[in-house]
């Protein structure tokens, strides 16, 4: 189990032999070519080729590429087709409807929330009162000056004031992981390591959390490891094959939501999701992860008719691979980040969901 992949996959600013640039790394084991495309090569396949490896990770160094540059991966599939994908490990993305990833450096923010973090480590949230205010940042309040959204900074000030007045201990943000479709409220994510650009930059979101913590307000985010959208720039058929999802639609496609279902039995997929969970706790000091759509993860026949699902190895309906993933997720979060909460949106009577880890 590797939960720190965001340290080396994706785009990272580095210096090689005195030359500053960006190191790229992406998992695409079934691609025959992978290159980085951006303004520098006219967004055409063939500019900056990456080197393949036995692990399926393609990597390379692009000199002179500054922070803030937009980019995508261009992949040649087994049948010779060219597809363009956003970076699964990107730390930022363009404002929708644009879909490119953004080279981002997250290392320079100076946190001022040490008192909060110290108190959190010893806080027993299972035996102390917690009052949570859930909010959708895009519609909670709208600006009067013609802008579509308030900024992270504006929202932090307003939410702290409101939550303090109403006696809430935590604010729970409906998904802020980058997403293409406003109508999904964020529950169909494409950027599992990128706060949505609708309200500002990753630096602005760090400031949002820091401001909340300095004023005694915890921050929980809704996190969606159950499924992901079918948008062509996203994770689906990433290298021309079913990589993050199951190939068989009876396991890998959710007909109700028109989304792909993660293949929890694949080590690389589990590591991707566990790294995402760790990333938000590590880089953004998040105080809790509320896991969405748990019921759809637990049951192989969730919202399916007979003959439209595949039983597990014992002939049952339980998704054993998803159960193992959720156990690993809880063990990792509580083991590495004492005081961080994990919560489940679970709509069935599965036993032990709220049992302490």
Instruction: Supply the DSSP symbol for 197.
Output: T
On the question of pLDDT at 353 being above 70, the answer is yes
Q: Are residues 166 and 85 in the same domain?
A: no
Q: Is residue 333 part of a domain?
A: yes
**Residue 185 is part of which domain span?**
114-344
Query: Which residues does residue 73 pair with via DSSP β-bridges, in sequence order?
Result: 36, 85
Q: Are residues 27 and 145 in the same domain?
A: no
Q: Is residue 357 part of a domain?
A: no
- The number of distinct structural domains making up the chain is 2
On the question of pLDDT at 46 being above 90, the answer is no
On the question of pLDDT at 357 being above 80, the answer is no
Q: Is residue 210 part of a domain?
A: yes
Task: Tell whether omega for the bond before 97 is within 30 degrees of 0, i.e. cis.
Answer: yes
Residues 210-230 pLDDT 10s:
999 999 999 999 999 999 999
Which CATH number characterizes residue 292's domain? 3.20.20.80
Query: Which residues does residue 57 pair with via DSSP β-bridges, in sequence order?
Result: 27
259 sits in which H/E element: strand 259-261
pLDDT of residue 166: 98
Residues 120-142 pLDDT 10s:
999 888 888 999 999 999 999 98
Active-site residue set: 292, 345
* Pick from 133, 230, 141, 221: nearest CA to 175: 221
Which CATH number characterizes residue 69's domain? 2.60.40.10
Query: Which residues does residue 262 pair with via DSSP β-bridges, in sequence order?
Result: 245
Q: Are residues 124 and 60 in the same domain?
A: no
Of the three residues 102, 126, 148, the one that is the final residue of a domain is 102
On the question of pLDDT at 349 being above 80, the answer is no
Residues 3-35 pLDDT 10s:
999 999 999 999 999 999 999 999 999 999 999
Q: Are residues 232 and 257 in the same domain?
A: yes
Residues 132-170 pLDDT 10s:
999 999 999 988 887 889 999 999 999 999 999 999 999
């Amino acid at each position: 189990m590797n939960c720190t992949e965001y340290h080396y996959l994706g785009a990272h600013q580095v210096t090689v032999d005195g030359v500053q640039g960006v190191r790229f790394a992406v998992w695409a084991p079934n691609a025959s070519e992978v290159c980085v495309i951006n303004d520098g090569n006219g967004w055409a396949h063939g500019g900056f080729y990456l080197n393949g490896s036995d692990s399926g990770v393609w990597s390379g160094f692009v000199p002179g590429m500054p922070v803030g540059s937009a980019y995508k991966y261009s992949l040649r599939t087994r049948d010779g087709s060219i597809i363009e994908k956003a970076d699964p490990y990107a730390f930022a993305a363009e404002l929708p409807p644009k879909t490119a990833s953004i080279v981002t450096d997250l290392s320079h923010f100076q946190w001022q929330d040490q008192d909060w973090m110290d108190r959190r480590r010893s806080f027993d949230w299972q035996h102390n009162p917690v009052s949570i205010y859930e909010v959708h940042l895009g519609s909670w309040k709208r600006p009067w000056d013609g802008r579509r959204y308030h900024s992270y900074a504006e929202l932090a000030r307003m939410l702290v004031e409101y939550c303090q007045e109403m006696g809430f201990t935590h604010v729970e943000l409906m998904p802020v992981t980058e997403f293409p479709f406003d109508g999904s409220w964020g529950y169909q994510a494409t950027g599992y390591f990128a706060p949505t650009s609708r309200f500002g930059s990753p630096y602005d979101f760090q400031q949002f959390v820091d401001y909340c913590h300095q004023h005694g307000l915890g921050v929980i985010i809704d996190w969606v490891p159950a499924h992901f959208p079918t948008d062509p720039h996203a994770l689906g058929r990433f290298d021309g094959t079913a990589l993050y999802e199951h190939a068989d639609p009876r396991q890998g496609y959710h007909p109700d939501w028109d989304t792909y279902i993660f293949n929890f039995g694949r080590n690389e997929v589990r590591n991707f999701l566990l790294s995402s969970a760790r990333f938000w706790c590590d880089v953004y000091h998040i105080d809790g992860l509320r896991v969405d759509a748990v019921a759809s993860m637990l049951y192989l026949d969730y919202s399916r008719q007979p003959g439209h699902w595949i039983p597990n190895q014992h002939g049952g309906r339980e998704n054993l691979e998803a159960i193992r993933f959720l156990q690993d997720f809880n063990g990792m979060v509580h083991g590495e980040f004492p005081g961080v909460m994990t919560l489940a949106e679970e709509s069935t009577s599965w036993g032990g969901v709220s049992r302490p880890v």
